[in-house]
Amino acid sequence: MKNIRTFQGVAPTVDDTVLVDDTALVIGDVHIGEDSSIWPMTVVRGDVNGIRIGRRTNIQDSSVIHVTHPHEDMPDGYAVSVGDNVTVGHRVILHGCTVGDHCLVGMGSTIMDGAVLEPFVLLGAGSLVSPGKVLEGGYLWLGSPVRKVRPLSEDERKWIEYSAQHYLDLKNQHLASD
């Protein structure tokens, strides 16, 4: 497939149950776990470091996932790790960061190098997570720069799970219609 490309001899590993939209682009050192989905116009570029996307995770339309190369000041650079059951909203930038399991990243958010979202973070739309910032799990975070707002309600925790399941079901509908 032209939209899943090898770079310098390293090919993406994409589970057979994954949907990668024909207009999305996945390059290089990328691993996408089972039942995940990469939606239209999304770029997952593992050309200078690795990207790992877990199971049942959706990366929505026009998002960009990229990494930071190893260099003198940062011998390992910054890879990207996205956990299981994660929803990444439309037009999100994930750059050299870690997103734990059961997170929801709101539309238009940017998460920078070395930042960490612990499990069960709800990140509000348009938020900016600065380099190296750690977002404690179980909270709603929002703003630019991001700030902790309050603990998640039980309904919000359920919504995070629902969103991941909804996109898994939608992914299956898309695969069945091909």
Q: What is the pLDDT of residues 105-119, one digit of tens each?
A: 999 999 999 999 999
**79 pLDDT above the threshold of 90:** yes
Task: Find the mean pLDDT for residues 150-164.
Answer: 97
> What residues are paired with 122 via a beta bridge?
104, 140
Task: Find the mean pLDDT for residues 25-30.
Answer: 98
**154 pLDDT above the threshold of 90:** yes
CA atoms within 13 A on the CB side of 19: 23
> Which structure tokens are listed for 34?
């089972």
- How many whole angstroms separate alpha carbon 88 and alpha carbon 31? 16
Phi then psi for residue 58, to 5 deg, are -120, 135
Q: pLDDT confidence of 135, banded at 50, 70, 90?
A: very high
CATH number for the region 4-177 comes to: 2.160.10.10
Per-residue pLDDT, 1:
63
> Which structure tokens are listed for 37?
């989905």
> Which structure tokens are listed for 128?
């900016």
Which is higher by pLDDT, 1 or 176?
A: 176
- How many whole angstroms separate alpha carbon 137 and alpha carbon 112? 17
Per-residue pLDDT, 55:
98
| Domain residue spans of the chain | 4-177
Give the chain's mean pLDDT: 97
